[in-house]
Chain A
Amino acid sequence: AQKITQTQPGMFVQEKEAVTLDCTYDTSDQSYGLFWYKQPSSGEMIFLIYQGSYDEQNATEGRYSLNFQKARKSANLVISASQLGDSAMYFCAMREGDPITGANSKLTFGKGITLSVRP
C-alpha cells in the first residue's frame, strides 16, 4: 500500500510567488518523521525540512515551511518567494521504525513533484 502520496504531477509558479506542494501519508505508528527533499537534475537529494509527529509547531527552515495537519495526515511544503533555482523535483518522505534506537528505520518516498519556476 502506498504510504506517501504526491498527486501533483507538475507545478508551475511565478518567480517571487509562494507555492504549496502537497503530501499525504499513511501510517499506523504514533511516532514518525516527515522529510522533504529537493532533487535538481544533477541527482543530489538535498534536505529541506523535517517534521516530527509529536512536534507541536509546524517546522520552518528559511523560505521553507511545513503545513502539518496530523489528523488529516498531510504534510504540505510551502516555499515562499520562489526563486529560479527552486526548479527541481521535490520528494516527501516518511521515516518509521524504533524512535528510541533508530533501528529498522528507512525512508519511504513519494513519487515526487516537478516544480518549475517561471521568470
Chain B
Amino acid sequence: KAGVTQTPRYLIKTRGQQVTLSCSPISGHRSVSWYQQTPGQGLQFLFEYFSETQRNKGNFPGRFSGRQFSNSRSEMNVSTLELGDSALYLCASSLGQQGWKNTIYFGEGSWLTVV
C-alpha cells in the first residue's frame, strides 16, 4: 500500500514568488491535513480538507491556501513568499470519518527555502 506522497521534496523560491505543493494521500483516505514545521515554532497546523471541503483551519495568514480534488489529492499554495515561510511542509492523511481514532499518516514533507 503506497504511503502519503508529497512533491516536490525540495525547492528554493525567491521572496515575493508563490509556490504550490502537492500531496497524494493513502488510497481510500479522504482527509488531508497540512502542517508547517520550523525550528522556532515547531509543528503548526495549517488546514484540513475532507471531501473537497476545508473542515478546519489553523492560525495562518490568507497567503496560505489549499484545496482538495475529487480524488482526495490536495495542494497547498503560498503566495507572496516571505523569508519566514522557509520550512518543512508536511501533509497528513487519514480516513477522516467516524471519529478521529483513525491513524494519521504523514508524508516525507516538502522542504521549502525562501531566499
Contact = CB atoms under 8 A, between A and B. Distances in A.
B31 interface: yes
A42 B58 CA distance: 25
A103 B56 contact: yes
Contacts of B105: 47
B66 interface: no
Nearest to A103: B55
A44 B106 contact: yes
B113 to A, nearest CB: 13
Contacts of A80: none
A48 to B, nearest CB: 10
A69 B66 CA distance: 38
A102 interface: yes
Interface string A106-119: 11111110000000
Contacts of B97: 101-102
B88 A43 contact: yes
A42 B97 CA distance: 30
A111 B42 contact: yes
Contacts of A71: none
B109 to A, nearest CB: 4
A91 B99 contact: no
B43 A44 contact: no
Given A105-B56, A107-B35, A108-B45, A95 B103 contact: no
A107 B100 CA distance: 10
Given A105-B48, A106-B56, A45 B96 contact: no
Given A47-B103, A107-B92, A109-B43, A102 B109 contact: no
Interface of B: 31, 33, 35, 42-43, 45, 48, 50, 55-56, 58, 88, 90, 92, 94-109, 111
Interface of A: 33, 35, 37, 42-47, 50, 52, 91, 93, 95, 97-112
